[in-house]
Amino acid sequence: MKKTLAIAGTAVVAVTLLTGFGWGRHHRGTPDPERIHQMVTWKVNDTLDDLDATEAQRTSIHAVKDRLLNEGQALMEGQQAARAEAVTQLESDTPDAAKLHALVDARIDAARAFAHKAVDAVLEVHRTLTPAQRQELASEIREHTGAK
């Protein structure tokens, strides 16, 4: 459970970074996917070291991480395209309200779909860990988050 929660936390951090908030940005303010990948990989490796993960577990969990980061990158690219369309609409003398509302709906749907993929990834990692590793991870997360 702990490992699952750590991976979930890492996924949330990755999504947050990929969508344009926080670290991993060039000086121009655009997210740097390579930097994000490095940071998330470092955190995952650190957690796997703490859990004494086997090579098979590491391989499996890194595959999940890479898949989720790639999907997060696609989500970010869709966000950039939606922003560009929104700006185009707002530059118009008569912005199309239906198009703007459709952009919002599409971004919400994309974020929801990604969140479901993240949950599936967490469940996949959960199955990869031993019960002892899950317990250790849950304790560590509780300690760091103040959760009871």
CB 15 within 8 A of CB 119: no
pLDDT in tens, 11-47: 555 544 444 444 444 445 667 889 999 999 999 999 9
State the DSSP code for 19.
T
Show me where the domains of the chain are located: 32-43+53-145
Q: What are the helix (H) ranges across the chain? A: 2-18, 33-50, 55-91, 97-128, 131-145
pLDDT at residue 147, rounded to an integer: 78
pLDDT at residue 19, rounded to an integer: 45
pLDDT at residue 22, rounded to an integer: 43
Q: What is the mean pLDDT of the chain?
A: 86
Q: In this structure, which topology does domain 32-43+53-145 adopt according to CATH?
A: Four Helix Bundle (Hemerythrin (Met), subunit A) (1.20.120)
- Main-chain dihedrals φ then ψ at residue 25, nearest 5 degrees: -115, 145
Is the per-residue pLDDT at 8 higher than 70? Answer: no
